[in-house]
Each structure stands twice: as structure tokens, then as C-alpha cells.
């Protein structure tokens, strides 16, 4: 039987070049995508908070798979965490990190 290896700490810091960030933000705030997010969340409208984070392995310090400072959004009914679509990452030319999550505010 395979055993799970617990990680005590994972460095989730990253940086994105300004032009890549602008391209990604344009995709994440596109009216069509906002409509899809809103439809999935069953709300009146959504707003991108400009908060992004890299999903992290489950650790003793970060048991929800996200940096601890973002856990408040995970538990809130007013926010939604969305995996950034891989094609958005590719179009914005972001290859590291290879996965990101975006936080949206819900308006009901």
C-alpha cells in the first residue's frame, strides 16, 4: 500500500510579467467568461477581485490546498474560487506556475 507523504511547507510564491498579467486579466474579465462564471455560481453578477494564487499540495499548514491567506475566500458564500482555464494561461503566455486560481466576488 502506498503511503502519503505529508509536506510541512510549500513555497507558493510566483510572479507574472506585467504584459502576461494584463493579458490574463483581460481574459478573466471578458464578458462571456464572466457570464459563464455567473451562470455556474447562480448569481446576478460576478466581479474579478484581481486575486490569484497557485494551488499548493495539501500541507499541515495549508490543509485546503491553497495558501493560508486565501482560505477566508474558500469559506465565504460571497466569493468563488475558479481554476484559471489552461487555454487562458497559454494565451497569456504564462507557463510557470502551470496552474492558477482566480477569486471572484459574487453579487446576488
> Could you give the maximum distance between any two Cα atoms of the chain, in Å?
48
**Rounded average pLDDT over 67-90:** 93
pLDDT tens-digit map of 19-65: 999 999 999 999 999 999 999 999 999 999 999 999 887 777 777 88
| pLDDT for the residue 62 | 73
Quote the cell numbers at residue 43: 448569481
Q: How confident is the model at residue 6 (pLDDT cuts 50, 70, 90)?
A: low
Range of 1-5, 8-12, 43-47 with top mean pLDDT = 43-47
The pLDDT value given to residue 3 = 65
- Whether residue 74 is contained in a domain is answered as yes
Question: Domain containing 79: what range?
Answer: 18-107
pLDDT at 94: 94
What pLDDT sits at residue 25? 97
Query: Which of 13, 7, 40, 30 shows the shortest CA–CA distance to 88?
Result: 30
**Is residue 5 scored above 80 in pLDDT?**
no
pLDDT tens, position by position, 80-92: 999 999 999 999 9
Q: Which residues contact 106 (CB under 8 A, 6 or more apart)?
A: 41, 43, 46, 77, 78, 79, 80
Q: How many alpha carbons fall within 13 Å on the CB side of residue 52? A: 19
What pTM was estimated for this model as a whole? Answer: 0.83
Domain contains 3: no
- The answer to whether residue 8 sits within a structural domain is no
Within-domain flag for 12: no
Alpha carbon 3 to its chain's center: 29
Residue 9 lies in a domain: no
When divided into structural domains, the chain yields a total of: 1
Amino acid at each position: 500500500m502506498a503511503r502519503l507523504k505529508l509536506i510541512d511547507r510549500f513555497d507558493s510564491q510566483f510572479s507574472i510579467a506585467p504584459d502576461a498579467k494584463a493579458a490574463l486579466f483581460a481574459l478573466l474579465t471578458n464578458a462571456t467568461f464572466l457570464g459563464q462564471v455567473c451562470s455556474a455560481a447562480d448569481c446576478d453578477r460576478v466581479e474579478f477581485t484581481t486575486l490569484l494564487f497557485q494551488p499548493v499540495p495539501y500541507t499541515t499548514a495549508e490543509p485546503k490546498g491553497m495558501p493560508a491567506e486565501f482560505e477566508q475566500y474558500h469559506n465565504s458564500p460571497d466569493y468563488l474560487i475558479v481554476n484559471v482555464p489552461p487555454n487562458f494561461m497559454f494565451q497569456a503566455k504564462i507557463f510557470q506556475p502551470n496552474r492558477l486560481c482566480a477569486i471572484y466576488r459574487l453579487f446576488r
